Amino acid sequence: MNEEMALIVQKFGGTSMANTERIENVARTVAATKQAGNKVAVVVSAMAGQTDYLLDLSSSISVNPPLREQDALVSTGEQVAAALLAITLAKMGHKSQSYTGMQLPMVTDDIHSKARILDLKTDRLQKVLDEGIIPVIAGFQGVNSEGDITTLGRGGSDTTAVAIAAALKADCCEIYTDVDGVYTTDPNICPQARHLKQISYSEMLELAGLGAKVLQTRSVELAQKYRVPLVVKSSFGSNKHTWIVKKEDVMENSIIKGVTLERNVSKIVVIRVPDRPGIAYRILAPLADLAINVDMIIQNASIDGHTDFTFTVPRTELTRAKALVQKVADDIGAQEVMTANGIVKVSAVGIGIKTNFGVAARMFKALADENINVQMISTSEYRISAVIDEKYGELAVRTLHQAFELEKNGNGGLRESLMPKHPDAAKPGSSDETDSGAGI
């Protein structure tokens, strides 16, 4: 094999793999890349709807299934898809072999349903690639040190693809999906969403972390850390695409880059908690131990030595979270634990938020003008988020997109004088890299 050949990792999501015709379409894309003189490793998601179908089956039996078994169940979706693509490639005359996470192996920790990749052996993949065979890898899944199947969280095939690209030192990782790149907001919710030719790793991380599921957050983290050139493309033909690049390389700098909607949100309220030091810790520590992500936290003013303590958790983890919190509430003598679904989180994301007071005012005015009540607020350097009633989620996205004039190129419609003096703005050598966490 020619050592000069480029190595490209291509990942195809569920809608791209939805049926046998679409799988043939995927096979044609893969074959064309190979015939153009590249080595290609492919990562696939389960056929559209499969993962949800399997999760529904399991939850029809139990609201709180053992996560080890749930992982064994849902990982089958990707195994099916990988084998079907390898069969299709073979029919078209290309040598191809499917691989599960266990066969590679893709070694993870043992946090079932949201495992993190610790190690990836590439010997077998290298050998297969050198022999001119196209490996088709089942995304989303790994194996822990016990040899049990784990999964990487919803959207985890993106992370599989980037991890494979990093480990193989691929020239590029291409994420093929049902949209032709990253937009200022979900184009399926807001027709005015604007296509972005490029976005920085940090802004993409923030968008993904707040609900823009076009890339899984962890995949962006890995791409940033291992400098994997990452591009989002359409499986269905388009000449547009989006490169995820270093901050210095972004041509267009906007105060607000995008708007997101996170539907996987629930609220837990612990009523009449005795107000003493350490209570927040007592309530939240057991959740942290199980890696349940707590986002917004509100502690009300104390009345006769008691307070209400409210926070959000992913809706998919509400049952487990509530059981843990109930136990603590009983121990500390809180009156009651209440939960609420029916809420979503909308966020405005961009590097200008920290230094721009105009942003929060504009956001809350726009929501108020639509009579959308804000239940909880949180801000960080790069974002402002509001929890609102679920039924206004999509309206809020369109409202904020318009309020920040994101359909226009430039500064999100904010006046030039409001442009941020971002400390890292044009600092030479400032980079977008983080270097935390062990393994990949």
Report what 51 binds from ligand ASP, Mg ion, ligand ADP, none; CB cut-off 5-8 Å by kind: ligand ASP
Q: 140 vs 311, which CB is nearer to ligand ADP?
A: 140
Residue 246 Cβ, how far from ligand ADP at the closest point, in Å?
20
Binding mask 140-179 for ligand ASP (x = CB under 6 A): x-------------xxxxx---------------------
Alpha-carbon gap, residue 221 to 162, rounded angstroms = 9
Q: Which amino acid is at 374?
A: V
Is residue 42 near ligand ADP by the rule CB under 6 A? no
Shortest Cβ 127–ligand ADP spacing (Å): 29
Q: Which residue is nearest to ligand ADP (CB)?
A: 13
Instruction: Report the residue from 77, 101, 139, 155 that binds Mg ion according to the rule CB under 5 A.
Output: 155
Q: Total residues at the site for ligand ASP (CB under 6 A)?
A: 13
CA distance 277 to 309: 13
Instruction: Kindly state the smallest distance separating residue 174's Cβ from ligand ADP, in Å.
Output: 12
Interface with ligand ASP includes 45 (CB under 6 A)?
yes
Per-residue x/- mask for Mg ion, residues 6 to 25, rule CB under 5 A?
-------x------------
Residue 29 or 160 having the CB closest to Mg ion: 160
Taking alpha carbons only, the member of 274, 277, 169, 178 closest to residue 229 is 169
Distance of CA 232 to the CA centre of its chain: 14
How far is the C-alpha of 134 from the C-alpha of 412, rounded, in Å?
Answer: 44
Lookup: tokens for 111:
């946090």
User: Nearer Cβ to ligand ADP, position 170 or 210?
Assistant: 210
x/- binding map, residues 141-180, to ligand ADP, per CB under 6 A? --------------x---------------------xxx-
Cα–Cα distance measured from residue 381 to residue 348, given in angstroms and rounded to the nearest whole number: 11
Stretch 185-224: interaction string toward ligand ADP, x if CB under 6 A: xxxx------------------x----xxx----------
Site string for ligand ASP, 13-32 (x = CB under 6 A): xx------------------
The CA angle 92-126-104, to the nearest 5 degrees, is: 90
Q: Indicate which of ligand ASP, ligand ADP, Mg ion, none lies near residue 188 (CB less than 5 to 8 Å, by partner kind).
A: ligand ADP
What contacts 96, CB < 8 A, 6 or more positions away? 85, 86, 89, 90, 133, 134, 135, 136
Helix (H), strand (E), coil (C) string for 220-244: HHHHHHCCCCEEEEECCCCCCCEEE
Element housing 45 (H / E): none
Encoded tokens for 427: 């600092």
* CA–CA distances in Å: residue 324 to residues 106, 113, 271, 318, 337: 31, 18, 15, 10, 11
From the list ligand ASP, ligand ADP, Mg ion, none, partner contacted by residue 178 (C-beta under 5 to 8 A by kind): ligand ADP
Closest among 189, 171, 192, 188 to 179, alpha carbons compared:
188
For ligand ASP, the binding residues (CB under 6 A) are 13-14, 45-46, 51, 77, 139-140, 154-158
